[in-house]
Chains A and B, each alone.
Chain A
């Protein structure tokens, strides 16, 4: 654990990061910006896992291992999202949310 820092401060920061991500997710109009907001939300949850593991159950490793799994899932998700965005841009020349409201194209 970090000397002089309680778990409450870390949780405060991750909560702020999470809601900044939610704000970006709702207000942005662009697929890549939405992807960036999702990254922020996922990272906030990963820090929570690590902090809980270190502060509450330091003799176990479950938080670290689940963080590794979350990072792997995020990498897969980003690769798929980028490929979908590139394919969409090729077909309709746009990555704005309002242009991709129909699934069939």
Chain B
């Protein structure tokens, strides 16, 4: 049963990822990315990390996709067709990517992973305790660094997006 679900998720993921980088309509390509992200969340559910799947759904499907759609609608007309690279360049890139894929897969399949058979459940409590523990192996420092980084990024985003023209427009209207 899990096997069938995994293969369905994998096919959906790959097909929509290809559609997302190949589609010429901007908004459609964002929606295809949404499908890819949701199937990744499905893989997290299958692998038994429910907290991570919830984060994936809220942050990506709820936040990042909405941000990208927002910027697309501000910047484009919905039906605008995109300019696309020359055919020769596309073929060369696809060929190079296929070579890279082959190299990666040969390396992966030639390595013998020491897989541990297990069904150890991971609770949200364990993750929270580990994230805030300041003993050896705790993650309190990167947690704080990430929080400061997020704050700085948000303030920077506001300052950059505010721009100069808004103030001049305000002066004109006033």
Chain A positions near chain B (C-beta within 8 angstroms): 1-13, 15-24, 26-30, 32-33, 35-37, 39-40, 43, 46-47, 50-51, 54-59, 61, 64-65, 67-69, 71-80, 82-87, 89-91, 95-96
Chain B positions near chain A (C-beta within 8 angstroms): 2-3, 6, 10, 13-14, 17-18, 20-21, 26, 29-30, 33, 36-37, 40, 43-44, 46-49, 51-52, 55-56, 59-60, 63-64, 67-68, 70-72, 74-76, 82-85, 89-90, 93-94, 97-98, 100-101, 104-105, 108-109, 113-120, 122, 126-127, 130-131, 139, 142, 146, 149-150, 153-154, 156-158, 160-161, 163, 165
Residue of B nearest to A29 (CB): B83
Interchain nearest-CB distance for A60 vs B (Å): 9
Q: Which 10 A-B pairs have the closest CB atoms?
A: A24-B21, A76-B153, A83-B161, A83-B157, A4-B3, A58-B118, A27-B85, A19-B97, A83-B160, A82-B71
